[in-house]
Structure 1
Amino acid sequence: MRRWGHFLLLFLLFGGLGVLWSWRGGQTAYFLLIATAVLLLQAVGTALFSLRGVSVECGTERSRVYGGEALAVSLRIQRRPLWPVLWLLVQHTWQHSGGARVTYRQLLFPWMRADMALRYRLQGLRRGEYKSAGVELYTGDLFGLMQVKRQRAGQACFLVYPQPVETAAEWSAPYEEDAVASRSASWRDSGVIRGVRPYEAGDPLSRIHWKLTARSGGLKTKTFEPAGTERAVLWLDTSAASYSGSHVFEAAVQAVAGMVRQSLGAGSGWVQLRSSSSEASPLVVSTLEELQSAYEWLARIQPDGRTAFGDHLLRESLRLPLQLPLVLVTPLAGDALTPVLRRLRHAGRACTVLHVHGSPALTWPQRQWKRELEELGCRFADFRAGGLATASVGEAEANGGAVDGIA
């Protein structure tokens, strides 16, 4: 509650008028005493009873949406009708995983209503996770002498998927027959870990996950993707130093989402998602039913400034089978990436570079770099971020939304 100073002054005025009326009498003093008593009663009633027992329920139309779409949000406010509420300001705040906030405000006039329901829409949502940061309720008396505030914790959250965008990159690379034939005949796997299961009799010791075994107290065996179904590793550059703006990073994420959908839609093989972020574990998706898990992975990915993309790529690619082609989605060009690609190609690794940029067309240095990569045997494609409509963090619908009904 606020403005207790006004309440104290009003109380002192009421006491002074009472003394004046009892001492001198008169209709003027009596009228002022009654008027002050009414104001004092209204202020006390508003402070003590207006939002007594108030509760707020928050819900969303869907828990998953795509970037740029709108989402309907519903609020239900219930209270004990012990005192008339002349006006009520509702403020609902959403916290985006990127740090920004979206706020919705609506002014209601409930009077003696105990149950209020309103509905609004969040528009222009950007990829990421949104969590309700709480609902704030403000009310007061008619003359602004007393203001009451109540805050209720957030109860809802939703996830915004990246909008998949198709690219012109030819990134699938077939395997050589001799490379496939050189694999182990007893354990037909790709060398890419899919998961972990309890140890079974006959499992080779080389497949034991020793670290997890030590922590769990029981033998654990690593499981792998089956051989002959490999497609590629989509490697997203998430180093903050690589990007000149957030719109370029969002374009890179949308490009990866489009390539995953395009690959799984073809009905063959699998893809593994990797990033240079230390907080995102690799994810393998092999069917359209698992496409949602890829979108979830991409929705939560954020730029990470801890590791340079080139250093991370060179170190982590050594752990993958040599026959597995890499698709690198990055805005880097020139000397920042060429030495790493040269070493990968000399080792026999197939590489494709999807260069994400914000220019209307490739510049002369970028075209020179493209020819250099093609001479190394790398495939190259460019993806222009400027051609995409990028959404803001989000905003409530104009005029504060729309009230569906007040009961």
Structure 2
Amino acid sequence: MGAFFQRVRYFWKLSILLTLLVITFSYAMFQGGFVSWFLFYSFLPFSLYALLLAFYSLEDFSVERSLTRGDYHANETLIVKVTLKRNKAFPLIFMVLEDCLSESLGNAVQENQHKVFLFPGFRKEITYEYRIADLPRGEHELQAVRIFTSDLLGLIEKEKRLELNESILVHPAYEKLIFEYGNDYEHGMRVSNNRIQREASMVAGIREYQRGDRFSWINWKASARRNGMVTKEFEQHQSNDFIIVMDCTKDYRFETIVSFTASIGQAILQKGSHIGFLAVGKERAAIPFQGGAVGRQLLFYSLAKAKDDSPIVFDKVLSTDSFLLQHKLSFVVVTAQLSTLLIESARKMMARGCPVTIFIIKDVGEVITSAEQVIKSKAQKHGMNITFVYKEQFAAGLMEAGRG
């Protein structure tokens, strides 16, 4: 229906143009004199250009878009270069070019830099470059390029949307942290100069395959005999591997939560350890244990797409999620809300022999309440490590966690 009305509008404006041309000519013919013919000849160039534009098709245009690179982190600058090409050198007096962005990316553009007023003239190739500073974290789309032109009187208008869909994934910003492990795992993590030592686990038996199990754990002989996947069951030994659990409930500090999770995950991986990761929003992200570049890629991909839209309260995630229940390792919990229910869930994890360290994210200048101090004191009596971490002060928070 919209296309039909656009065509009706187009022919209506074209008829107005022809009517005006006929009127000015008729007036000059019947009235005569300098003024009437001057009026006609003055209007003639505008009307002739409008008529020519009416029969010129913007289908002649093609578009290319190039980005400076494919991998970005939050708060970096994206440079976009848009190139329009055409075969016919029809004179275009002006053109409005707009790079159509998704709402998440469009909100980050300052002063409509993705929209520009150009004077193409006879040029067959038109290039425009713009920047988006302070990229927001997440998955964003550059959807199409819209071009618009008209005659000087605005009677004949031409518009074309050139579809050119591209996606960019903006990973979270992170700080480079130095993370060391000590030998005392009863209280979570320690900062020390001790050398990392991995202890080999002894195979104690076999069990059915569970989501999150490593590929190397599969017992192929037993799987063939049972006609189903089974994995090796290990005796539990101290390990330098961690599971990071991130709170995805609605909170204005969520971006800081994501950034700190990325920072501590990166620091652990740089020490040669493996990490698992769990974030439960409307979409659940559970990453089995990985290390090195693969572990970092999976972690940052999940964090780039994470949203604070969890339908489940965080303490319930800690106490009921199957991914957490099937592992007996050190847990790193990142949240912005310290509550009695959260501590109760963490105590259940510790009762299974899993050391727990909880990082409570605070905004710059935010005061720790007396209620939070009381909860922290009670939790520490049970051997739990709780640390308040402030935005832009991640290293200080990690050092405090190390002191326990």
Normalised TM-score (structure 2): 0.78
* Distance verdict in 2 for CA 1:45–1:9, change over 3 Å: same
- Partner AA of 2:371 in structure 1: P
What SS does the corresponding residue of 1:203 show, helix, strand or coil? Answer: helix
Whether the 8 Å contact between 1:67 and 1:162 is mirrored in structure 2 is yes
2:342 corresponding residue in structure 1? 337
Whether the 8 Å contact between 2:100 and 2:143 is mirrored in structure 1 is yes
Whether the 8 Å contact between 2:101 and 2:141 is mirrored in structure 1 is yes
2:66 corresponding residue in structure 1? 59
- Partner AA of 1:381 in structure 2: T
Structure 1 position 117 matched with structure 2 position 127: yes
Unaligned runs of 5+ in 2: 1-5, 187-198, 395-404
Structure 1 position 385 matched with structure 2 position 391: yes
Structure 1 position 373 matched with structure 2 position 379: yes
Structure 1 position 71 matched with structure 2 position 111: no
Q: How far apart are residue 170 of structure 1 and its match? A: 8.1
Q: Distance in 1 between matches of 2:98 and 2:319?
A: 49
Q: How far apart are residue 78 of structure 1 and its match? A: 0.7
Deviations 1:311-366 (A, max 9, x none): 12211157534521211111121234122223333343321111112253422222
Q: Distance in 2 between matches of 1:222 and 1:33?
A: 90
Q: How far apart are residue 222 of structure 1 and its match? A: 6.5
Deviations 1:105-135 (A, max 9, x none): 2222110000112222221111112210221
2:248 corresponding residue in structure 1? 238
Q: How far apart are residue 146 of structure 1 and its match? A: 2.8
Q: How many residues align?
A: 368
Q: How far apart are residue 12 of structure 1 and its match? A: 1.6
* Distance verdict in 2 for CA 1:107–1:98, change over 3 Å: closer
1:213 corresponding residue in structure 2? none
Q: Distance in 2 between matches of 1:225 and 1:79?
A: 66
Structure 1 position 294 matched with structure 2 position 318: no
2:153 corresponding residue in structure 1? 143
Q: Which deviates further from its counterpart, 279-288 or 61-70? A: 279-288
What SS does the corresponding residue of 1:323 show, helix, strand or coil? Answer: coil
Q: Which deviates further from its counterpart, 72-81 or 333-342? A: 333-342
Whether the 8 Å contact between 2:275 and 2:295 is mirrored in structure 1 is no
Whether the 8 Å contact between 1:234 and 1:273 is mirrored in structure 2 is yes
1:280 corresponding residue in structure 2? 284
The counterpart of 1:107, out of the listed 117, 137, 140, is 117
- Partner AA of 1:72 in structure 2: I
- Partner AA of 1:203 in structure 2: S
* Distance verdict in 2 for CA 1:303–1:100, change over 3 Å: farther
After superposition, the CA RMSD in angstroms is 3.7
Whether the 8 Å contact between 1:50 and 1:85 is mirrored in structure 2 is no
The counterpart of 1:128, out of the listed 138, 150, 154, is 138
Q: Which deviates further from its counterpart, 332-341 or 29-38? A: 29-38
Q: How far apart are residue 309 of structure 1 and its match? A: 1.1
Q: Distance in 1 between matches of 2:331 and 2:372?
A: 20
Q: Distance in 1 between matches of 2:344 and 2:38?
A: 90
Q: Distance in 1 between matches of 2:143 and 2:41?
A: 44
Q: How far apart are residue 261 of structure 1 and its match? A: 1.2
- Partner AA of 1:90 in structure 2: L
What SS does the corresponding residue of 2:122 show, helix, strand or coil? Answer: coil
* Distance verdict in 2 for CA 1:149–1:196, change over 3 Å: farther
Structure 1 position 208 matched with structure 2 position 228: yes
Structure 1 position 91 matched with structure 2 position 111: no
1:161 corresponding residue in structure 2? 171
Identity percentage of aligned residues = 20
Aligned 1:14-29 pairs, distance under 5 A = 14-29=21-36
Whether the 8 Å contact between 1:85 and 1:139 is mirrored in structure 2 is yes
Q: Distance in 1 between matches of 2:43 and 2:12?
A: 16
Q: How far apart are residue 4 of structure 1 and its match? A: 6.1
Whether the 8 Å contact between 1:356 and 1:383 is mirrored in structure 2 is yes
